[in-house]
Amino acid sequence: MTARLHILQPGPQTTVQDLGRHGFQAYGVPVCGALDGTALRLANALVGNEAGQAGLEIRLAGPAFEVVGGPARLALAGAQARIEVTLGDETRRYGAWRAIDVPEGAQVRVGALAGSGCAVLAFAGGVDTPPVLCSRSTDLKGRFGGHEGRALASGDRLLLGKGKAQGPCLELPSPPRVAGEVTLRAVPGPQADAFTDEAVAAFFATPYRISREADRMGMRLEGPPLAFRHGADIVSDGIATGAIQVPGSGLPILLLADHQTIGGYAKIATVISADLPLAGGLMPGGLVHFRAVTVAEGEEARRAREADIARLVASLVPVREGARIDEAALYQANLISGVVTALESS
């Protein structure tokens, strides 16, 4: 029997995502997919999956679920979080960046994320929802893909793929970490000439704060308004993930995985693909800087990112469990020998 997940508590926004729905933007269909594609690929590697198999994307805090119909192997990547696995009266606690074997009937709870606002929970065999347009990713705006085209809810049941875990559980000895303010590299344009020279210089010199208006579609940024030469409106054209639109307010919007396919506001810059995983993990209230790079530098950064992911996957090693005390064995053993009582008569 194939293992399933019975969702007990879904978390703030947990969705099924893979590497995206490519090739359909000409028909108005967003790419979607994991905000942090690197986390998805590493989580899949930890459980022995192919890189693009579907997992659960977690925002801010994770879900709670029961594993039924068989055991499951899972791994969390992209952020730190406490993972509790409860079977009967016993609860074991684990961290991220390692595979965990969960027995049938156990309940799993993933706590609040730290270090990033986004993480991916992968399962051996993947999350087996019906593919739509060659992808299992959830399109929240279009309401299709994933599980019924929406975020998970209590009572949902998700089927896992038939692939079985092979070999020992793996861990990533040196996971990637992000500390402090984030700097995203961006190529100026395609409508940088719609802004004054002072506005372009200010954009790349001023830190912006992520506003509360942030979701999988995009993030509004708070900071000094940017000035236009003639106005914000342009003839609508195509939008790439990472594009930074600036509406009439002069405040930028960083567009993410669920972005619309065309738009009519000038775009001052586009975040390079190598830095999109960092962008996907930004949280409201956080600060972000933008640094101008050329197209050639962006391409080189993508190659370096791919090499880094390959290095991380190659570094996976079997988990070294910490020593555990067998209390039952201790109670049965004679731990003290040769005791002399002080009450013995001389």
Could you tell me what percent of the chain has a pLDDT over 90?
88
Distance CA 67, CA 17 (A): 20
Asked whether residue 23 falls in the same domain as residue 100, the answer is yes
Residue 328 has pLDDT above 70, yes or no: no
- Domain termination residue (choose one: 116, 148, 174): 174
- Residue 167's pLDDT is what? 92
Asked whether residue 42 falls in the same domain as residue 76, the answer is yes
**CATH at 214:** 2.40.100.10
Q: Is 320 domain-assigned?
A: no
Distance CA 78, CA 173 (A): 14
Taking residues 242-246, what's their average pLDDT?
97
For the four alpha carbons of 127, 128, 129 and 131, in that order, the dihedral sign comes to positive
The candidate with the shortest Cα–Cα distance to 41, out of 73, 15, 18, 14, is 18
Asked whether residue 163 falls in the same domain as residue 51, the answer is yes
Report how far Cα 142 is from the mean position of its chain's Cα atoms: 21
DSSP 321: P
Q: Is 236 domain-assigned?
A: yes
- Domain termination residue (choose one: 112, 147, 174): 174
Residue 21 belongs to what domain range? 4-174
Asked whether residue 163 falls in the same domain as residue 195, the answer is no
Q: Is 311 domain-assigned?
A: no
- Tally the domains of the chain: 2
Q: Is 189 domain-assigned?
A: yes
Confidence category of residue 334, pLDDT binned at 50, 70, 90: low
**Helix, strand, coil percentages, rounded to 5, for the chain:** 15, 35, 50
Task: Look up the pTM and report it.
Answer: 0.90
- Residue 132's pLDDT is what? 98
- Residue 343's pLDDT is what? 47
Asked whether residue 238 falls in the same domain as residue 146, the answer is no
Asked whether residue 269 falls in the same domain as residue 228, the answer is yes
340 in helix, strand or coil? coil
Distance CA 63, CA 9 (A): 5
Asked whether residue 164 falls in the same domain as residue 16, the answer is yes
Q: Is 233 domain-assigned?
A: yes
Asked whether residue 156 falls in the same domain as residue 200, the answer is no
Distance CA 79, CA 25 (A): 30
Distance CA 285, CA 205 (A): 19
Asked whether residue 112 falls in the same domain as residue 61, the answer is yes
The candidate with the shortest Cα–Cα distance to 187, out of 265, 248, 244, 226, is 244
Instruction: Note whether 9 and 64 are within 8 A (CB).
Output: yes
Asked whether residue 44 falls in the same domain as residue 158, the answer is yes
- Residue 321's pLDDT is what? 72
- Residue 322's pLDDT is what? 58
DSSP 76: E
pLDDT tens track for 158-185? 999 987 788 999 999 999 886 668 999 9
Q: Is 319 domain-assigned?
A: no
Helix (H) or strand (E) holding 300: helix 295-314
Asked whether residue 161 falls in the same domain as residue 227, the answer is no
Q: Is 315 domain-assigned?
A: no
Asked whether residue 94 falls in the same domain as residue 118, the answer is yes
The candidate with the shortest Cα–Cα distance to 32, out of 18, 49, 42, is 18
Q: Is 317 domain-assigned?
A: no
- Pairing between β-strand 262-265 and β-strand 317-318 as defined by DSSP bridges: unpaired
Instruction: Note whether 164 and 158 are within 8 A (CB).
Output: no
- Domain termination residue (choose one: 295, 310, 325): 295
